[in-house]
Amino acid sequence: MDVMMPTDTAAPEAAPGGAAPAAPPAAPPHTVSHMFGEIVWLLTQSPIHRHLKLADLEWLVMPPLLAEQYRIYRDGTKPVGVVTWGYLSEEAEARLTAGERPQVGDWKSGDRCWIIDLVAPTTTAENLLAARMLDDLRQTALKGKAFKLQQTDPKTGERKVVEVGALQDSE
């Protein structure tokens, strides 16, 4: 499993005198629209998410994408999972735990780190993809930060809040 982080999409700087850049980028940049497409594709592969409406993408995908609060996981070049997170205020956290969806302004409204969504359509008990994605986040993008997430029991639909402690440098 490879990890794809948000990529700098700026064009290479021109050489002095307006000449072409010295060397083209190794790979085409991953634009917001490209990453958006990959995330939407992953949502369509997930039985839990495929019922979403286009309007849901405004609150579920665009805020973390624009804030670079997401991480796409790959098997080679194929996207296999995505995690989004937000830094919520106390009020936004209360709404989230009450079952409400985050509002656009909630994603960067405070200091309470929450995994808002984890999409891993191919996760199994054997490959543990979802667990590996969370472990990667603890070691990289969210290192040193405690965070929370909601887990839903697939049989009962009951939600519970799980608190994940901060991973320190010595771990």
CATH code, domain with 68: 3.40.630.30
Q: Structural domain of residue 75, as residue ranges?
A: 29-164
Quick check: is 117 catalytic? Answer: yes
**Which residue among the candidates 34, 106, 111, 117 is catalytic per the annotation?**
117
| Tens digit of each residue's pLDDT (9 = 90 or more) over 49-87 | 999 999 999 999 999 999 999 999 999 889 999 999 999
Active-site residue identified among 8, 30, 49, 51: 49
Asked whether residue 68 is assigned to any structural domain, the reply reads yes
The span from the CA of 90 to the CA of 111, in Å, is 9
- Residue 17, class by beta-carbon neighbours within 10 Å (0-12 exposed, 13-18 middle, 19+ buried)? exposed
Structural domain contains residue 39: yes
Is 16 among the domain residues? no
Could you list the beta-strand ranges (E) of 105-146: 112-119
Quickly state the pLDDT bin for 149 (edges 50, 70, 90): very high
Q: Length of the chain in residues, anyone? A: 171
Nearest to 62 by CA among 105, 96, 91: 105
Confidence (pTM): 0.81
| Residue 2 counted as domain residue | no
State the pLDDT at residue 154: 75
The contacts of residue 36 (CB under 8 Å, 6+ apart) are: 57, 61, 62, 65
Coil vs helix vs strand at 97: helix
Residue 22 lies in a domain: no
Whether 82 is in a domain gets the answer yes
Mark whether 34 is an active-site residue: no
pLDDT at residue 152 in the model? 84
Q: Total structural domains in the chain?
A: 1
Considering the domain boundaries, does residue 10 fall inside one? no
Q: Is residue 65 a part of any domain in this protein?
A: yes
